[in-house]
């Protein structure tokens, strides 16, 4: 009996079915600038929110100049996968009004670890001020 090869899905077929062709470690959307997570490769925590704050939270003290707010949301995609969005508003910078991080995390041995990260800025000036972008602000 001759075996037939399994059919392969085309790129359009995968998109139509909602399947991702990207490895999960690179799941950050293209609208975000990639962030090197190498310094945090040994970091883990039972709580993804605390891991996000500890690794990417504002580190300039309790009341850094100009900082108005910091918000964190956790979205559990599956029981072992979470996406954390950390937004810092009111930065004391003449070109950047706010910064947003998207952190992809996986649950490994009952602890959350960072597998990918991306960054966006909200610029104060330029052609589209106040829009989120992965590009450097002018």
Q: Tell me: the pLDDT tens digits for 16-56? A: 334 333 333 446 888 999 999 999 999 999 999 999 998 98
Q: What is the pLDDT of residue 93?
A: 83
| Percentage of the chain modeled with pLDDT above 70 | 73
Q: What is the per-residue pLDDT across 92-119, written as a single tens digit (0 to 9) for each?
A: 888 998 999 999 999 999 999 999 999 9
Three-state DSSP string of the chain? CCCCCCCCCCHHHHHHHCCCCCCHHHCCCCCCEECCCHHHCCCCECCHHHHHHHHHCCCCCCCCCCCCEEEEEEEEEECCEEEEEEEEECCCCCCEEEEEEEEEEEEECCEEEEEEEEEEEEECCCCCCCCEECCCCC
Model pTM? Answer: 0.73
């Amino acid at each position: 009996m001759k075996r037939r090869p399994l059919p392969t899905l085309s790129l359009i077929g995968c998109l139509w079915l909602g399947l991702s062709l990207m490895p999960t470690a690179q799941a950050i959307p293209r609208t975000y600038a990639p962030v090197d997570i190498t310094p945090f490769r040994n970091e883990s925590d039972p709580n993804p929110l605390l891991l996000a704050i500890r690794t990417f939270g504002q580190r300039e003290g309790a009341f850094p100049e100009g900082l108005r707010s910091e918000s964190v949301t956790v979205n559990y995609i599956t029981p072992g996968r979470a996406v954390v969005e950390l937004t810092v508003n009111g930065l004391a910078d003449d070109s950047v009004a706010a910064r947003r991080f998207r952190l992809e995390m996986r649950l490994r041995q009952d602890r959350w670890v960072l597998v990918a990260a991306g960054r966006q800025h909200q610029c104060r000036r330029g052609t589209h001020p106040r829009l989120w972008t992965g590009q450097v602000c002018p």
